[in-house]
Amino acid sequence: MRLAILLFLVSSASAQAACVIVDRSSVTAGDLASVLPEFRLIRADRRLLWAPVPGLTRLLTGPEVQQLAAKESLTVPPGTTVCLQRRTVLFSEEQVVAALRERLPAGAELRLVDYCRLPVMPGRLRFASRPLIRNAGGRPELHWKGTVIDDDQRTAPFWAVVQVLISRQVVRAVRPIPVNTLLSGDDVAESVEQSSLVDDVPPLRLADLVGKEARRPIDAKQVIQLAWLREPLLIRKGQAVRVMVESGQTRLGLDGRALNGGNLGATLLVKSDENGRMFRAQVTGPGMVAVRMEANAR
């Protein structure tokens, strides 16, 4: 009895020692042929079953091997077992940095804080287009989700924690700018500064800002954002305007004052300088409004 148990253990250990290392997500006939010569009789690229998850081992028992062989009209010795393992790799720091740089603008300074060090299946490492933000020790760090994609388009999760600095063209206010101010070159100054990738401020130049109107107060030394500005109004509140009254072929000009502001096509409330009457008129150009009246029917 003891001899039988010993022989069983020895045969099991020797069978399991012949472990097949699989490079893809499927086990092919070529993979099994390395330990079971009978499988050389069918096409090497024929897929027979799924490979185990990377990091795990799957043991095909004797009956499973017999059933698999029978499906292919093959015969294998009874009691034959096969263990299967998926090939795994450890990505190096250089490989992780190279994959991250595919998502970064040229010239970005990258510091890799940490990354996934678990064995994963071989494949291409790609990171998401945008990272997640987290603060650690008062410094912004980016938690970047990644994916390993193998030749069969199967995926495995990956991650990295990084700090990134990039150079941006920014424009700062050199003095306080009140609301409704038209910006001039004396109000702002541009420079190239280092900032974190998470500072989502688009690059701006003086030419983008000069002549725009502040829609909110801007403090001195603040980095100006385009959303804080607007195109200047053609007519401002309290501005003197020339009013053209049109009725059929008749045109009459008079002076007035806008009681509110607007751009081309806007309807304003205007007060006549001659009689103080108020009426609505449409903006037709800088300092110009028009009133169109229906001609009296005869």
Spans of all domains in the chain:
2-86, 93-166, 167-230, 240-293
Please, what is the average pLDDT of the chain? 84
Q: Is 148 helix (H, G, I), strand (E, B) or coil?
A: strand
Residue 297 has pLDDT above 60, yes or no: no
Residue 16 has pLDDT above 50, yes or no: no
Q: How many CB atoms lie within 10 A of CB 9?
A: 10
Share of the chain above pLDDT 90, in %: 45
pLDDT at 58: 92
- Band the pLDDT of 206: cuts 50, 70, 90: confident
- Band the pLDDT of 17: cuts 50, 70, 90: very low
- Band the pLDDT of 201: cuts 50, 70, 90: low
Residue 18 has pLDDT above 80, yes or no: no
Name the nearest CA neighbour of 149 among 121, 118, 117.
121
State pLDDT tens for residues 236-290. 888 999 999 988 788 888 999 999 988 888 999 999 998 899 999 999 988 999 9
pLDDT at 12: 40
Residue 51 has pLDDT above 70, yes or no: yes
Residue 134 has pLDDT above 70, yes or no: no
- Taking the C-alpha atoms of residue 22 and residue 129, their distance in angstroms, rounded to an integer, is 31
109-115 and 155-173 beta bridge pairing: antiparallel
CATH 3.90.1210.10 fits 167-230, yes or no: yes
Cα Rg of the chain, angstroms: 38
Instruction: Name, in order, each residue with C-beta under 8 angstroms of 221's C-beta and a sequence gap of 6 or more.
Output: 172, 173, 174
Enter the CATH code of domain 240-293.
2.30.30.760
Higher-confidence residue of 69 and 169: namely 69
pLDDT at 140: 67
Residue 230 has pLDDT above 50, yes or no: yes
Number of Cα atoms under 13 Å in the Cβ half of residue 67: 6
pLDDT at 162: 92
pLDDT at 136: 53
Residue 157 has pLDDT above 50, yes or no: yes
pLDDT at 196: 62
